[in-house]
């Protein structure tokens, strides 16, 4: 019986100790998700949290998803109104069967026009024009691409051209492309372009017609209409970029937003099903659906909400109670059936002393979930005025010191004893007179001071 009790106690203690070190986690089971593609990943964009992955760090060919990085560098180094002139190399360096947008040597196009044909129909010639405009040559532009990839956090990416034309040394991974896509979607111009379903180049100095109209290669964006048909339309899709070469297979970096949550999926090396359906779109839809079915963005603290009230010493009675506000929304990605009620934030408030101005930073609040921190500054919700008690005491003290100094300065000094009697009497009279006069003068000074 005693051994059994000892065993039970041991189990209880073991449970209590182990539960103490459990980190807050909102991970969900991914066993129900199945994908065709050999490599893919699903990421929530605001936090960078990985929701699903399969061979996500496997080095593969990225094909035209490369153009996401090209667009990033162009947007960060050029104005949309800048003019670029099409070089001979831009046209003649593109192998047969690769997409081009029928631009002409010597044609002048704006950066904005070139970005549209780069990202919507995936024009390879436009990529070379942009690369030469930014860096002077494709090789120098590729160096910039690799530098930017490292800056973003990519670990297994190496670019040798701006368009994804096959080269055995031109490689990336699903994870790295998710980072690149996440970064690009922070740019509003990029977001607007990759959501378009078609674009028409205007007439230029070398081409007088306006018949160069191009449709998007991303079927997630195409609705079924009388003039267009898609088996893969996804209402919440927001972009991003397709890719294909014989060596890379079908690739797609896709993004979608629902409510206040946006996710990015990457599919590499996809093929077609036995029924002839595109695996890159089927996998992308499955990944995006999985994210929205299982996860949501939860607001832990709302912007300008009152966290608590604290009493500030040396403040007036009317303003001593300071409202502590949360400066920004604190949001986190959680599993839909999970609860945030047990989350305890770390709150740090500065040592407070009046006066305090409304809106200034007075501390921080931080939640830690799955090893990631979510925080906001804490700010003063109202003005706190200093108490006038100390000021009044200082004022009274100043008056007392001033009076003392006046009395001290105006008090007559005692005269030394005179040798002669008459002289003594004379000085005594003068002294009395002087004291009398001094008294009147002091009285007048005191009255004037008051």
CB 355 within 8 A of CB 383: yes
Spot the catalytic one: 56, 84, 122, 376. 122
Please report which helix (H) or strand (E) contains residue 58, including its range.
none
Q: In Å, how far are 125, 136, 164, 291, 363 from 161, measured between CA atoms?
A: 12, 13, 6, 33, 48
Report the run of H or E that residue 31 belongs to, with start and end. none
Q: Is the peptide bond before 240 cis (omega within 30 degrees of 0)?
A: yes
The pair of structure tokens assigned to 173 is 């991974």
349 closest CA partner among 320, 324, 383: 324
CB-CB contact of 223 with 248 (8 Å): no
Whole-number Å distance between alpha carbons of 318 and 321: 8
CA distance 367 to 3: 43
Cα-based distances in Å from 244 to 95, 116, 122, 345: 14, 19, 10, 47
Phi first, then psi, for residue 190 (nearest 5°) are -60, -45
Q: Are 242 and 218 in contact (CB under 8 A)?
A: yes
Distance, in Å, from the CA atom of 136 to the CA atom of 84, rounded to the nearest integer, reads 12
- Active-site residue 122, yes or no? yes
**Residue 67 annotated in active site:** yes
* Cβ atoms of 362 and 379 closer than 8 Å: yes
Q: Which residues are within 8 A (CB) of 101 and not within 5 positions of it... i.e. 6 or more apart?
A: 117, 121, 123, 125, 126, 201, 212, 214
Read off the tokens for 234: 């996804």
Q: Tell me which of 54, 67, 148, 280 is the catalytic residue.
A: 67
Handedness of CA 344, 345, 350, 352 (dihedral sign): negative
Q: Among this protein's residues, is 64 annotated catalytic?
A: yes
> In degrees rounded to 5, what are phi and psi of residue 318?
-75, -25
Tell whether omega for the bond before 329 is within 30 degrees of 0, i.e. cis: no
Q: Where in the sequence numbering do the catalytic residues fall? A: 64, 67, 122
């Amino acid at each position: 019986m005693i051994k059994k009790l000892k065993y039970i106690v041991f189990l209880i203690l073991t449970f209590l100790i182990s539960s103490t070190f459990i980190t807050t986690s909102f991970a969900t089971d991914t066993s129900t998700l199945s994908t065709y593609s050999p490599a893919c990943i699903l990421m929530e964009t605001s936090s960078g949290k990985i929701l699903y992955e399969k061979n996500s760090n496997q080095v593969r060919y990225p094909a035209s998803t490369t153009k996401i990085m090209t667009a990033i560098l162009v947007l960060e180094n050029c104005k949309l109104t800048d003019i670029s002139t099409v070089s001979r190399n831009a046209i003649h360096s593109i192998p047969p069967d690769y997409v081009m947008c029928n631009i002409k040597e010597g044609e002048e196009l704006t950066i904005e026009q070139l970005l549209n044909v780069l990202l919507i129909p995936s024009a390879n010639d436009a990529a070379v024009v942009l690369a030469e405009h930014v860096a002077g040559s494709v090789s120098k532009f590729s160096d910039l691409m690799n530098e930017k990839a490292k800056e973003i956090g990519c670990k297994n990416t190496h670019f040798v051209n701006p368009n994804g034309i096959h080269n055995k040394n031109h490689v990336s991974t699903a994870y790295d492309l998710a980072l690149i896509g996440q970064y690009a979607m922070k740019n509003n111009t990029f977001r607007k372009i990759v959501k378009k379903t078609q674009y028409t180049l205007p007439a230029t100095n070398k081409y007088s017609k306006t018949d160069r109209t191009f449709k998007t290669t991303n079927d997630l964006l195409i609705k079924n209409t009388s003039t267009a048909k898609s088996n893969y339309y996804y209402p919440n899709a927001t972009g991003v970029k397709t890719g294909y070469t014989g060596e890379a297979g079908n690739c797609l970096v896709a993004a979608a937003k629902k409510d206040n949550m946006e996710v990015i999926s990457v599919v590499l090396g996809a093929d077609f099903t036995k029924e002839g359906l595109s695996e890159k779109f089927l996998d992308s839809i499955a990944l995006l659906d999985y994210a929205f079915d299982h996860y949501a963005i939860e607001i832990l603290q709302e912007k300008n909400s009152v966290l608590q009230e604290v009493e500030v010493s040396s403040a007036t009675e009317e303003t001593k109670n300071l409202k502590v506000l949360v400066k920004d929304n604190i949001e986190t990605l959680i599993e839909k059936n999970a609860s945030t009620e047990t989350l305890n934030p770390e709150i740090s408030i500065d040592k407070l002393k009046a006066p305090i101005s409304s809106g200034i930073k007075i501390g921080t609040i931080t939640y830690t979930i799955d090893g990631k921190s979510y925080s906001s500054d804490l700010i003063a919700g109202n003005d706190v005025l200093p108490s006038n008690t100390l000021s009044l005491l200082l004022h009274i003290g100043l008056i007392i010191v001033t009076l003392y100094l006046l009395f001290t300065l105006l008090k007559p000094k005692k005269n030394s004893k005179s040798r002669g009697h008459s002289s003594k009497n004379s000085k005594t009279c003068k002294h009395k007179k002087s004291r009398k006069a001094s008294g009147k003068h002091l009285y007048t000074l005191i009255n004037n001071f008051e």
